[in-house]
């Protein structure tokens, strides 16, 4: 028996090279194999469950709007939209159908929004959309949303993949609610991958360009890169920084990177040295950000010495571009003013689970030692790190985060100290002026006046209240075989929504 099976194995092994070659030669050009950065924890439409989940969900579900290649709003289910009264918005729906064949109507949109803001909701936008006052459906193709107060960024929030429209009351398919995206899931194998086929009644004629999309999970970043280099997959997300140079140099592959998420420091405002804004500023001026870009991201990033507003944003104010420039003398002066001219000891919370978080912490430690601040690193696993962040069990901590969109209002989550305690922002650090400016910006529709508000915000945040200290932008990369065309890598805070463009992807 053993003899037989060994012979079979050996025989099989001997013929493998030929089989593989044959399989590769016959690979159909209407199927893309995509290497995900993880198997999505779940695919519930309105929850945030990470990058890999967003990449899959943007295939299955769609909302009223989305983002185009330059980050501009683009129509999806809503063909057009306009302001309606002082606090209202009107959305005009196109003819579209769900995967179950039912038409997408205003009632589905209303139901969707009610689920997002309802009392039992676990939706990501639950808090941000609480200001919705009424949702009206004058006809099957019109939705009118009235807010409790003027809310300029509503279309942006509805364009994120956190607000897809789901068929009201439909039964689930593969345990998933029914959406209307370009691809329909046909099989899900937990921990392995998800197979999707093109939805033949998708509302954009001619799209998606490919017939099949196979999404395979590669939790280990090196395995993901190896899968691309060996031809197992056509495209991968979340290219590890250490592999970017090799992929860029490979003639068979192409690499697409943009500055996406950013690294920063958050502080504890209730205890410890960083209650004092002068010491937060001293830290801001003591860090050589190029070193972080080099050590943590292999040079694939850009120092960030102000609030994380992209340079090409109309709200970026060059006056403050280097507000937190490296200036150790100024840092020492600030320490002297704060009465700790000789330095002090403190603890920096980060995590050893992600090398970029640890490397960032190590550079900060070294730089601060040069101005006399003795930093002890606390590097628990990520889950513990998040719990400690939420409870404020730190003096200052390393953050790696991304905004919901590229509007400055997207910074609220990280700089508005009036929001409830959260791991993502400084702990118990009141920011009354920032809060007032954000409120004003959210209600202001005049672009010039809005710009003035955010100019002021950049001044207050970098010089007066200092609710965080930015460190650097980091590049976020997708890599693909050279014949894969049509993909666009969305800039800045929108980066993780780049899955929107997979409907345009094909082979040249």
Site for other proteins in 84-123 (CB under 8 A): 119-123
Nearer to other proteins by C-beta: 270 or 384?
384
Residue 84 is encoded by which pair of tokens? 């309606």
Q: How far apart are CA 260 and CA 263, in angstroms?
A: 10
Per DSSP bridges, beta strands 212-217 and 31-36 are parallel
Instruction: Based on the shown chain and the rule CB under 8 A, indicate whether residue 390 belongs to the binding site for other proteins.
Output: yes
**Which residues ranging from 328 to 357 are in contact with other proteins (CB under 8 A)?**
353
Distances (CA, A) of 291 to 244, 258, 344, 471, 477: 18, 19, 23, 10, 20
Instruction: Based on the shown chain and the rule CB under 8 A, indicate whether residue 128 belongs to the binding site for other proteins.
Output: yes
Q: Of 30, 56, 33, 34, whose CA–CA distance to 45 is shortest?
A: 56
**Contact track, other proteins, 246-285, x by CB under 8 A:** ---------------x------------------------
Cβ burial, residue 5 (10 Å; 0-12/13-18/19+): exposed
Q: How far apart are CA 306 and CA 248, in angstroms?
A: 30
Nearer to other proteins by C-beta: 15 or 134?
15
Each as own residue / partner, the long-range contacts of residues 504-507 (CB below 8 Å, 24 or more positions apart, any chain) are 504/207, 504/208, 504/209, 505/32, 505/208, 505/209, 505/210, 505/235, 506/209, 506/210, 507/29, 507/32, 507/210, 507/234, 507/483
**Shortest Å distance, C-beta 143 to other proteins:** 23
Binder to other proteins among 29, 74, 127, 374 (CB under 8 A)? Answer: 127
Instruction: Based on the shown chain and the rule CB under 8 A, indicate whether residue 5 belongs to the binding site for other proteins.
Output: yes
**Shortest Å distance, C-beta 104 to other proteins:** 25
Instruction: Based on the shown chain and the rule CB under 8 A, indicate whether residue 157 belongs to the binding site for other proteins.
Output: no
**Which residues ranging from 353 to 382 are in contact with other proteins (CB under 8 A)?**
353, 380-382
**Shortest Å distance, C-beta 100 to other proteins:** 21
Nearer to other proteins by C-beta: 128 or 501?
128
**Shortest Å distance, C-beta 401 to other proteins:** 4
Binder to other proteins among 61, 478, 496, 507 (CB under 8 A)? Answer: 496
Binder to other proteins among 229, 358, 366, 459 (CB under 8 A)? Answer: 229
Q: Of 433, 442, 440, 391, whose CA–CA distance to 415 is shortest?
A: 433
Instruction: Based on the shown chain and the rule CB under 8 A, indicate whether residue 428 belongs to the binding site for other proteins.
Output: no
**Shortest Å distance, C-beta 482 to other proteins:** 16
User: Residue 474, SS3?
Assistant: strand
Angle formed at CA 268 by CA 278 and CA 295, multiple of 5 degrees: 80
**Which residues ranging from 462 to 491 are in contact with other proteins (CB under 8 A)?**
none
**Contact track, other proteins, 34-63, x by CB under 8 A:** -------xxxx--xxxxx-xx---------
Other CB atoms within 10 Å distance of the CB of residue 9 = 10
């Amino acid at each position: 028996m053993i003899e037989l099976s060994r012979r079979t194995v050996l025989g099989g092994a001997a013929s493998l090279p030929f089989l593989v070659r044959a399989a590769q030669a016959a690979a159909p050009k209407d199927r893309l194999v995509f290497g995900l950065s993880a198997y999505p924890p779940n695919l519930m439409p309105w929850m945030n469950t990470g990058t890999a989940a967003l990449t899959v969900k943007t295939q299955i579900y769609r909302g009223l709007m989305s983002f185009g290649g330059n980050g501009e709003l683009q129509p999806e289910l809503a063909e057009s939209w306009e302001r309606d009264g002082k606090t209202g918005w009107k959305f005009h729906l196109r003819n579209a159908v769900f995967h179950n064949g039912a038409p997408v109507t205003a009632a589905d949109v209303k139901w969707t929004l009610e689920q997002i803001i309802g009392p039992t909701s676990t939706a990501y936008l639950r808090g941000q959309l609480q200001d919705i006052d009424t949702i009206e459906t004058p006809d099957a193709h019109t939705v009118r949303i009235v807010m409790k107060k003027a809310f300029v960024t509503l279309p942006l929030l509805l364009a994120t993949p956190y607000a897809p429209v789901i068929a009201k009351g439909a039964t689930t398919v593969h345990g998933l609610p029914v959406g209307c995206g370009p691809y329909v899931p046909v099989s899900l194998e937990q921990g392995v991958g998800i197979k999707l086929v093109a939805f033949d009644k998708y509302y954009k004629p001619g799209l998606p360009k490919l017939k099949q999309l196979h999404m395979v999970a590669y939790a280990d970043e090196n395995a993901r890169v190896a899968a691309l280099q060996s031809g197992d997959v056509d495209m991968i997300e979340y290219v590890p920084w250490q592999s970017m140079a090799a992929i860029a140099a490979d003639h068979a592959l192409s690499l697409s990177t943009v500055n996406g998420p950013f690294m920063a420091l958050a502080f504890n405002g209730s205890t410890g040295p960083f209650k004092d804004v002068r010491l937060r500023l001293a830290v801001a001026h003591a860090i050589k950000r190029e070193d972080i870009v080099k050590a943590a991201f292999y040079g694939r990033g850009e120092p960030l010495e102000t609030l994380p507003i992209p340079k090409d944003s109309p709200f970026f104010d060059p006056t403050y571009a280097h507000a937190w420039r490296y200036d150790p003398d100024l840092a020492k002066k600030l320490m002297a003013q704060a009465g700790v001219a000789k330095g002090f000891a403190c603890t920096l919370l980060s995590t050893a689970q992600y090398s970029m978080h640890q490397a960032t912490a190590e550079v900060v430690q070294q730089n601060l030692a040069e101005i006399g601040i003795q930093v002890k690193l606390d590097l628990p696993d990520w889950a513990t790190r998040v719990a400690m962040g939420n409870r404020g069990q730190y003096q200052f901590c390393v953050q790696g985060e991304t905004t919901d969109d590229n509007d400055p209002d997207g910074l609220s989550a990280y700089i508005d100290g009036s929001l409830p305690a959260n791991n993502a922002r400084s702990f118990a650090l009141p920011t009354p002026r920032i809060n007032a400016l954000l409120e004003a910006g959210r209600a202001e529709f005049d672009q010039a006046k809005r710009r003035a508000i955010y100019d002021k915000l950049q001044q207050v945040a970098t010089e007066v209240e200092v609710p965080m200290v930015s460190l650097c932008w980091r590049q976020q990369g997708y890599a693909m075989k050279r014949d894969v065309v049509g993909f666009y890598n969305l800039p800045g805070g929108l980066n993780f929504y780049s899955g929107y463009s997979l409907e345009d992807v094909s082979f040249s």
